[in-house]
């Protein structure tokens, strides 16, 4: 038998130090993680056995067994799933394959209970065993390998681990926890059953424990006044009992499942420590039959914006696990959705290629997308439920379910709103539904709670467009010079500050028949909101300013496509806009920051002919410098930077002197 001592990957060593020295609150999560891993191992065997039935060997019934030995102070979790070879044990238990540990370290708050809950989120659930154990022994044999090709892995949770070859007849894995003194409560059957019922009752394969019965102490001295007996106790009978329901939670009737069970199932499949925001459990019948149990999380995962990470729901076919992260069953913009889809129609040997082409898969994808949007619409409907007396003096009656949903959509949108906007460009069929779910800040509210429908309901009489502005930050949007005339006239403007907004609005040109108009694109046209006197005054100012405009165009010909008088400015001397069909300066900046090519376009400089600085241009000996300062200040006001900051500073200093 070969035996070797190896060192942990540096990140694992850091993690183990953290686990063994800090995370003692809520110890019981270790059992949830290890049983969940055992269940996954059985699921993987099921999947591989679709093509290789002999992997089942002589044990076709998959199960997890939990045993304990009070004398040895050990707790053992055994599964007869896929198992590990020696190299797999080294790779899986000695390193962390995904780059999540640094993010994990950065998430730690100092709150031991909260920190302990983070373990599973980063794919390091196995190491939670060191919360209760000062040594862990793992014995395993991969299905299909010979008995003498088993492996034993041992570590005390410090810098290294031992690996040796052993003979192991049963396939699968046994994790033996050598418990510390402060974790001896897990050597009691009642405690283990309590924890398993709380966290793992929904696991779809049986979790077995050996039955116990009470045995009276043996009679030693019949004449003893205390009965002359040794103490009695619980003894194992040799029979095994199933201590969980052992049926897939999604296959049970909804009326038989409690909210707590739904929440715990979500935590297991998502490795999230918080309860979900909402969920939907439905059986869909028709041309394609399937069951869906879909969850919307309360918090965004740390890797939501990692495009390389696979995301999606779990796919089962006739209760047989097929794959994690079935991306074909949910559009990319709903990648935050967790859950299970169990189909009765897909073939058991379904492959990823088939998933992308199957008519049934398309039907499941469309049905699941609609279900998620319905869940969001329901949350949005209750988000601003008013319990105060209405106009008729009658107070609305709000049931407990409605009350529980209040404020949840705002919470959802703060976490996932930017991702939802991606759907405008990805899902043409549901674009109108998505548009109704979008929320923004506006010139009347800093809170991101204003929908297009809210905006339309407040539009001024004669207003013909929904006005919006995009910017890098809320402050930049609120203080943009382009808003001045809108503020003067009391016209609400939506403030859009997500990086995805510019891209998404290329696919949304109107809402419910009303066009969307950027206040930073094209010439401002307030239509019926601008009276004839204002129009006439603007035209006269533009005519009188023509000579200065001509000189400005010449001075700025390398920077500006055009220079014109504007009516959109009240207090500022100038601002930059682009033509109606042009790319905004903000989007061009974002593309360059991302290392992508942006078309070389010049903005239009609009000047306020009534502003003192602009009036000073006429006849000034510093005309050229003032023209460039005017342009660069307009660029700064919208969050950009002058091409030559040093030249800008030099011009300003010269004028100040």
* pLDDT at residue number 21: 56
Please choose, from the candidates 196, 154, 168, the residue with its C-alpha nearest in 3D space to the C-alpha of residue 65.
Answer: 196
- 3-state SS, 87-99, equals HHHHHHHHCCCCC
- Is the separation of the CB atoms in 418 and 498 below 8 Å? yes
pLDDT tens profile 559-592: 888 888 887 888 888 888 887 666 666 666 666 6
Tell how far CA 155 is from the center of its chain: 34
Residue 440 known to bind ligand: no
Please tell me the predicted confidence (pLDDT) of residue 587: 67
Q: Is the pLDDT of residue 357 over 70?
A: no
**Residue 495: which CATH number?**
3.40.50.11260
Number of structural domains (the chain) is 4
The verdict on whether residue 164 carries a ligand-binding annotation is no
Average pLDDT score over residue span 135-164:
92
Is residue 487 located within the same domain as residue 452?
yes
Is 597 annotated in some ligand binding site?
no
CATH of the domain at 289: 3.30.230.80
């059992």: which residue's tokens? 31
The vertex-558 CA angle with 553 and 564, nearest 5°, equals 30
d(CA 97, CA 18): 19
pLDDT at 175 over 90: yes
pLDDT value at 174 more than 50: yes
pLDDT grade for 229, boundaries at 50, 70 and 90:
low
Is there a single domain that holds both residue 478 and residue 533?
Answer: no
Q: What torsion do the CA atoms of 604, 608, 611, 614 make, to the nearest 10 degrees?
A: 40
Residue 420 lies in a domain: no
- Point out the least confidently predicted range of 227-231, 499-503, 626-630: 227-231
Q: How confident is the model at residue 75 (pLDDT cuts 50, 70, 90)?
A: very high
Q: How many CA atoms lie within 13 A of 465 on its CB side?
A: 18
Cβ-count burial 83-121 (b if 16+ within 10 Å, e if not) = bbbbeebbeebbebeeebbebbeeeeeeeeeebbbbbbb
Q: In terms of domains, do 204 and 265 share one?
A: no
Phi, psi of 517 (to 5 degrees): -130, 120
Q: Which two tokens stand for residue 162?
A: 């031992």
Q: The domain that contains 637 carries what CATH number?
A: 1.20.120.790
Residue 126 is labelled as binding a ligand: yes
Q: What is the mean pLDDT of residues 111-138?
A: 66
Q: Is 125 annotated as a binding residue?
A: yes
What pLDDT is stored for residue 122 in this prediction? 40
Whether the predicted pLDDT of 390 surpasses 80: no
Q: Is 76 annotated as a binding residue?
A: no
Q: Say whether pLDDT at 97 is over 50.
A: no
Task: Provide the domain limits for residue 334.
Answer: 249-381
Q: Do residues 6 and 161 make contact, with C-beta atoms less than 8 angstroms apart?
A: yes
Q: Could you tell me if residue 489 is inside a domain?
A: yes
Starting from the edge strand earliest in sequence, which strands make up the sheet with 466-470, in order?
445-450, 440-442, 494-496, 466-470, 514-518, 510-511
pLDDT per residue as tens digits for the range 408-461: 999 999 999 999 999 999 999 999 999 999 999 999 988 899 999 999 999 988
Distance CA 371, CA 366 (A): 9
Residue 124, annotated as binding a ligand? yes
Is residue 594 assigned to a domain? yes
Highest mean pLDDT among 21-35, 396-410, 556-570: 556-570
Instruction: Determine which of 45-49, 463-467, 520-524 has the lowest per-residue pLDDT on average.
Output: 520-524
* Listed residues 526, 552, 569: the one ending a domain: 526
CB 329 within 8 A of CB 361: yes
Lowest mean pLDDT among 17-26, 285-294, 520-529, 579-588: 17-26
Q: Residue 175 in contact with residue 127, Cβ under 8 Å? A: no
Q: Any binding-site annotation on 286? A: no
Using the predicted structure, report yes or no on whether residue 635 has a pLDDT greater than 50: yes
Same structural domain, 464 and 583: no
Whether 181 is covered by a domain: the verdict is yes
pLDDT tens column, 521-540 = 766 666 666 666 767 777 77
pLDDT-derived band of residue 240, with 50, 70 and 90 as boundaries?
A: very high
Instruction: Identify the pLDDT of residue 581.
Output: 67
pLDDT at 1 exceeding the cut of 70 = no
- Pair (372, 236) in one structural domain: no
Burial class, 457, CB count within 10 angstroms (exposed 0-12 / middle 13-18 / buried 19+): exposed
Q: Which range among 7-16, 420-429, 511-520 shows the weakest confidence by mean pLDDT?
A: 7-16
Q: Which of 121, 219, 130 is nearest to 183 (CA)?
A: 130
Confidence of residue 336 (pLDDT cuts 50, 70, 90): very high
Q: Which of 491, 526, 561 is the last residue of a domain?
A: 526
Distance spanning both ends of the chain, measured CA to CA: 87
**What pLDDT, on the 0 to 100 scale, is given for residue 394?**
39
Q: What is the mean pLDDT of the chain?
A: 82
Q: Is 392 annotated as a binding residue?
A: no
Residue 649 has pLDDT above 50, yes or no: yes
Give yes or no: residues 253 and 371 share one domain: yes
Give yes or no for a contact between 339 and 372, defined as CB atoms under 8 angstroms apart: no
Q: How many CA atoms lie within 13 A of 341 on its CB side?
A: 31
The answer to whether position 106 is within a domain reads yes
Residue 506 lies in a domain: yes
Residue 84 labelled as part of a binding site: yes
CATH number for the domain including 19?
3.30.565.10
Evaluate if residue 111 carries a pLDDT over 60. no
Please state, in angstroms and rounded to a whole number, the distance separating the CA atoms of residues 403 and 31: 35
Contacts of 209 (CB under 8 A, 6+ apart): 65, 66, 67, 189, 192, 193, 240, 241, 243
Q: What is the pLDDT of residues 615-625, one digit of tens each?
A: 888 878 888 88
The reported pLDDT for the residue numbered 200 is 80
| 408 contacts 383 by C-beta, under 8 angstroms | yes
The answer to whether the CB of 604 falls within 8 A of the CB of 560 is yes
Same domain, 94 and 203: yes
Average pLDDT over residues 119-127: 54
Answer yes or no: is 277 within a domain: yes
DSSP percent split of the chain into helix, strand, coil, nearest 5: 40, 20, 35
**In a domain? residue 409:** no
* Residue that has been written with the tokens 């460009």 in this structure: 425
If asked whether residues 549 and 503 sit together in one domain, one would say no
Check: pTM over 0.75? Answer yes or no: no
Q: Which residue has 């402060």 as its token pair?
A: 182
Together in a domain, 456 and 327:
no
Task: Flag whether 352 is marked binding.
Answer: yes
Token reading at 514: 């009303």
Residue 149 has pLDDT above 70, yes or no: yes
549 and 607 co-located in one domain: yes
Rg (Cα) of the chain, in Å, rounded? 33
Higher pLDDT among residues 280 and 21, named by residue: 280
Residues 554 and 628: their CA atoms lie apart, in Å, by 11
The residue among 317, 351, 381 that closes a domain is: 381
C-alpha span between 643 and 559 (Å, rounded) = 10
Q: Are 521 and 560 contained in the same domain? A: no
Does the annotation flag 371 for ligand binding? no
Q: Work out whether strand 466-470 and strand 514-518 pair parallel, antiparallel, or are unpaired.
A: parallel
Residue 654, pLDDT > 80, answer: yes
Q: Is 105 marked within a binding site?
A: no
Residues 307 and 261 reside in one and the same domain:
yes
Better pLDDT: 204 or 170: 170
């Amino acid at each position: 038998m070969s035996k070797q001592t190896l060192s942990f990957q540096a990140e694992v060593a850091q993690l183990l130090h953290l686990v063994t020295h800090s995370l003692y609150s809520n110890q019981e999560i270790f059992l949830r993680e290890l049983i969940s891993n055992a269940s996954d191992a059985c699921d993987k065997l099921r999947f591989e056995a679709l093509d290789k039935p002999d992997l089942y060997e002589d044990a076709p019934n998959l199960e997890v067994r939990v045993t304990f030995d009070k004398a040895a102070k050990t707790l053992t979790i055994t599964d007869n799933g896929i198992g590990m070879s020696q190299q797999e044990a080294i790779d899986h238990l000695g390193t962390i394959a995904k780059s999540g540990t640094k993010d994990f370290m950065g998430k730690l708050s100092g709150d031991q209970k909260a920190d302990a809950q983070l373990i599973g989120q980063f794919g390091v659930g196995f190491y939670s065993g060191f919360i209760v154990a000062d040594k862990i022994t793992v014995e395993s044999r991969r299905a299909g390998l010979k008995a003498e090709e088993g492996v034993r892995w041992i570590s005390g949770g410090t810098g290294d681990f031992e690996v040796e070859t052993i003979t192991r007849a049963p396939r699968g894995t046994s994790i033996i926890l050598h418990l510390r003194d402060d974790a001896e409560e897990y050597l009691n059957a009642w405690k283990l059953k309590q924890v398993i019922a709380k966290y793992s009752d929904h696991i779809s394969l049986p979790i077995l424990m050996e039955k116990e019965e009470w045995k009276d102490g043996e009679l030693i001295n019949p004449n003893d006044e205390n009965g002359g007996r040794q103490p009695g106790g619980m003894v194992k009978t040799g029979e095994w009992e199933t201590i969980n329901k052992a049926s897939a939670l999604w296959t049970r009737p909804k009326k038989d499942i409690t909210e707590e069970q739904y929440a715990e199932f979500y935590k297991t499949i998502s490795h999230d420590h918080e309860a979900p925001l909402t969920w939907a459990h439905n059986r869909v019948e028709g041309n394609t039959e399937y069951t869906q149990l879909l969850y919307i999380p309360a918090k965004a995962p740390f890797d939501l914006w990692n495009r390389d990470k696979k995301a999606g729901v779990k796919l089962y076919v006739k209760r047989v696990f097929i794959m994690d992260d079935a991306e074909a069953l949910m559009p990319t913009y709903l990648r935050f959705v967790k859950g299970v889809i169990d189909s009765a129609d897909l073939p058991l040997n379904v492959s990823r290629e088939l998933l992308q082409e199957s008519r049934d898969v398309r039907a499941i994808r469309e049905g699941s997308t609609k279900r998620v949007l319905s869940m969001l619409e329901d949350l949005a409907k209750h988000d601003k439920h008013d319990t105060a007396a209405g106009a008729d003096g009658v107070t609305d009656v709000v049931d407990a379910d409605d009350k529980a949903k209040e404020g949840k959509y705002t919470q959802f949108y703060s976490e996932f709103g930017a991702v939802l906007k991606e759907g405008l460009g990805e899902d043409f069929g549901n674009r109108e539904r998505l548009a109704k779910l979008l929320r923004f800040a506006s010139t009347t509210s800093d809170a991101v709670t204003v929908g297009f429908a809210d905006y339309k309901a407040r539009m001024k009489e004669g207003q013909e467009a929904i006005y919006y502005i995009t910017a890098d930050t809320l402050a930049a949007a609120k203080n943009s010079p382009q808003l001045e005339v809108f503020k003067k006239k009391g016209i609400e403007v939506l403030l859009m500050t997500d990086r995805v907004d510019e891209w998404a609005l290329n696919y949304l040109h109107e809402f419910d028949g009303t066009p969307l108009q950027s206040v930073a694109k094209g010439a401002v046209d307030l239509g019926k909101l601008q009276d004839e006197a204002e129009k006439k005054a603007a035209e006269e100012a533009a005519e009188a300013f023509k000579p200065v405009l001509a000189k400005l165009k010449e001075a700025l010909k390398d920077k500006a496509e055009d220079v014109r008088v504007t009516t959109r400015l009240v207090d500022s001397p100038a601002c930059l806009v682009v033509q109606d069909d042009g790319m905004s300066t903000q989007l061009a900046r974002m593309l360059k920051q991302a290392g992508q090519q942006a078309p070389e376009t010049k903005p239009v400089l609009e000047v306020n002919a009534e502003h003192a600085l602009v009036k000073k241009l006429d006849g000034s000996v510093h005309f050229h410098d003032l023209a460039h300062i005017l342009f660069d200040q307009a660029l700064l006001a919208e969050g950009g930077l002058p091409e030559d900051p040093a030249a800008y500073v030099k011009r300003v200093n010269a004028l100040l002197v």
